[in-house]
Amino acid sequence: MAGRDGAASDFDRLVAFSREQLQAHARERFRDGGGTQPSVTRVVAGEAEAVFKDYADSAWLMRWFAPLFVYREASALERLAGIEGIPRVYRRVDGLGILIEYLPAPKWSRSQPTPAAHDRLEKLLADVHARGVAHGDLRGSGNILLRADGQPCLVDFVARVHRGRPWNRPWNAVFRAFCQADRNALAKLKLRWAPELATAEECRRAEHRGWPARIARAVGVGVRRLVRLLVRQPDR
Ligand SMILES: Nc1ncnc2c1ncn2[C@@H]1O[C@H](COP(=O)(O)OP(=O)(O)OP(=O)(O)O)[C@@H](O)[C@H]1O
Ligand SMILES: [Mg+2]
């Protein structure tokens, strides 16, 4: 009981930390911040841990847009709350950062996914879509993790697209196209990691990039170019 109380108070302490305290408790760096990128860090306080994704070290232009990115990610994770394999949101930090649940799971590309893991990943994606969220950035596979017990996990919902109101048919057509792009990305993943499992339909879908993926890529490249043009040196 004392152990559980200790863990709870560690958690309360961690969630209330300032940016400086979070940085001081950094244990593992998943990615360094700077330019167009946020820093992504595992922070630990006693028995509690979390992931802190923070745009404070990014170029000024990205810091300007950071509240929008943080809002996009947090609102998607809030919609998906309770789904196994999706991190919980603990807190937004000054509009520039977000503190979320740490998922002890290596990247899919560094794991040995079994056929059952592919099925569970498809089920997870279907649950995410059913809640009205298309991920929008699964093509590179870096946002797919796999826990040792075989549970797939999804992170990085900045590029997400939410389903619109029932009357908003044009937007819902966009939403459906992004859901299809997510499924195509999983077909590509299966073809790469378990080609023997892929059906003819999945082989066809794996090749099909679709306009959502092309737009997402063009936006990413455009933003990086713009930031490089306007921000010669990431001002820290
Ligand atoms: N909640 C989490 N639990 C465990 N690891 C995480 C979590 N969130 C992120 N990571 C790790 O940090 C990496 C980068 O996080 P994220 O994808 O959110 O940031 P990013 O800036 O988009 O990075 P990238 O451009 O590499 O996708 C992930 O690929 C994953 O390995
Ligand atoms: Mg990512």
103-151: pLDDT as tens digits:
999 999 999 899 999 999 999 999 999 999 999 999 888 999 999 999 9
**Which of 155, 158, 223 is the pocket-test mutation for ligand 1 (most atoms within 8 Å of CB)?**
155
What is the length of the chain? 236
Averaged pLDDT score across all residues of the chain = 91
H/E segment holding residue 152: strand 152-154
User: Considering only CA atoms, which residue is closest to atom 19 of ligand 1?
Assistant: 156
Pocket residues: Cβ below 6 A from ligand 1: 30-31, 37-38, 40, 51, 53, 87, 100-103, 107, 142-143, 155-156
pLDDT band at 5 (very low <50, low <70, confident <90, very high): confident
From CA 39, how far away is CA 113, in angstroms rounded?
27
| 12 pLDDT tier (thresholds 50, 70, 90) | very high
Ligand nearest the Cα of residue 100 is 1
Q: Where are the domains of the chain?
A: 2-101, 108-230
Nearest-CA neighbor of 150 among 108, 183, 87, 185? Answer: 108
pLDDT of residue 92: 96
Of the candidate CATH numbers 3.30.200.20, 3.40.50.720, 1.20.58.100, 3.40.50.2020, the domain formed by 2-101 belongs to 3.30.200.20
* Fold exhibited by the domain 108-230: Transferase(Phosphotransferase); domain 1 (1.10.510)
On whether the CB atoms of residues 39 and 31 are closer than 8 A, the answer is yes
Supply the residue whose CA is at minimum distance from atom 11 of ligand 1.
Answer: 30
Find the helix or strand (DSSP H, E) in which 123 lies.
helix 115-130
Centre a 10 Å sphere on the Cβ of residue 134 and count the other Cβ atoms it contains.
Answer: 27
